[in-house]
Chains A and B, each alone.
Chain A
Amino acid sequence: MKEKAHVKNSDLKNFIYLFFILFVIWLVLTTSFHWQEIIVGIFISFILALYLHKNYLELGLPKITVKKIIYFIMYIIVLFIEVVKANFDVAYRVLHPKLPIKPGIVIIKTKLKQDIAKTILANSITLTPGTFTLDIEEDELLIHWIYVRSEEEIEATKIIGEKFEKYLRVVFA
């Protein structure tokens, strides 16, 4: 009985989170504060949140705390710097007359457990310099690397995954 009450409580929380996120997206998309637009927005976000709030739990999103938000913002800043670096890196390789590439496929390991965390890690690896994710299976990621610096599993993990994983590990702890 107690467990059931707990589930209901988290259901309501998920519903409120989802409703809030959807409503903010609606406001940004319409960029209008006319009362008719806002009423339609509330109505649509309410219906969508009613249908989807159970899936929100299945995604395995963690409970939100201040520390996690700070780490997530730091993670986004690191990601953004890496994206810019990635672009200049690939642009350099493409423009260089000798094409300085040394491509290869390596395996790296991750300690993250949740599917959503692994998805975020794989996506950020794809956005960083010279690496992208081919496949994930359990705790292994298959990575294509445009300029292989290390074939060893542990070393490759350190170079490719570590800078994101240390933030994600806190966020999804």
Chain B
Amino acid sequence: MELFGEIITGIGVLFLLLGNFGILRLPDVYNRIQAGTKCTTLGALLTIIGVGILQPAWFWKCLLIAVFILVTNPISSHAIARASRKIGVPLCDRTVVDKSKNFKGFKKQEKK
């Protein structure tokens, strides 16, 4: 059981490492947020659940924390991305399509 918990925590840490790697390698804010949310979701979940398995007394608490992370993680990334789009952070030059000018909310913002 202890070994199992350690393996799960290890895989989680590996995903967190990959997430950081992605933040360093990808070209612009939006792509970096992709790495920052995706890899850290599973990374943090596995790390926390692994800790729960290592310490059975904490298992339910850890599960609850994991659920809260799953619920709140997208919200924070969404807030950062929305703010960067509103102040006009440019997209990288490998971008193939940008339809944000046709978006209803964008037109509303222009009118104001």
A interface with B by C-beta (< 8 Å):
25, 28-29, 31, 83-84, 86-87, 89-91, 93-95, 99, 101-107, 122-123, 126-127, 129-130, 132-138, 140, 142, 144, 146, 148, 151
A-B contact pairs, 23 of them (CB 8 A): A29-B61, A31-B57, A31-B61, A84-B42, A87-B39, A89-B38, A90-B39, A91-B22, A91-B39, A94-B22, A94-B25, A101-B31, A102-B94, A103-B94, A105-B91, A105-B97, A107-B99, A126-B78, A132-B34, A132-B78, A132-B81, A134-B78, A148-B97
Please measure, in the bound complex, the distance between the C-alpha atom of A107 and the C-alpha atom of B104, giving whole angstroms: 10
Interface string of B13-45 (1 = CB under 8 A from A): 001001001100111101101110111011100
- The dominant DSSP class at the A interface is mixed
Which one of A31, A93, A105 has the highest number of Cβ atoms from chain B below 10 Å of its Cβ?
A105
Knowing that A103-B28, A127-B41, A142-B105 touch, tell me 7 more A-B residue pairs with CB under 8 angstroms: A28-B64, A29-B61, A83-B41, A103-B31, A104-B98, A132-B81, A144-B30
Q: Is B75 interfacial (CB 8 A cutoff)? A: yes
Interface string of B79-112 (1 = CB under 8 A from A): 0011001000001101111111011110010000
Q: Which of A83, A103, A144 contacts B42 (CB 8 A)?
A: A83
For residue A158, give the distance in angstroms from its CB to the closest CB of chain B: 16
Q: Which residues of B contact A89 (CB under 8 A)?
A: 38
For residue B80, give the distance in angstroms from its CB to the closest CB of chain A: 10
For residue B39, give the distance in angstroms from its CB to the closest CB of chain A: 6
Q: Assuming A31-B61, A122-B78, is B92 touching A87 (CB within 8 A)?
A: no
For residue A100, give the distance in angstroms from its CB to the closest CB of chain B: 11
Q: Assuming A123-B75, A132-B74, A134-B81, is B96 touching A102 (CB within 8 A)?
A: yes
Q: Which residues of A contact B35 (CB under 8 A)?
A: 90, 94
Q: Which of B15, B37, B82 contacts A91 (CB 8 A)?
A: B15
Q: Which residues of A contact B3 (CB under 8 A)?
A: none
For residue A142, give the distance in angstroms from its CB to the closest CB of chain B: 5
Is the CB–CB distance between A107 and B103 below 8 Å?
Answer: yes
Q: Is B4 interfacial (CB 8 A cutoff)? A: no
Is the CB–CB distance between B85 and A122 below 8 Å?
Answer: no
Q: Which of A83, A99, A102, A106 contacts B99 (CB 8 A)?
A: A106
Q: Which 5 A-B pairs have the closest CB atoms?
A: A137-B105, A126-B74, A104-B97, A94-B22, A87-B42
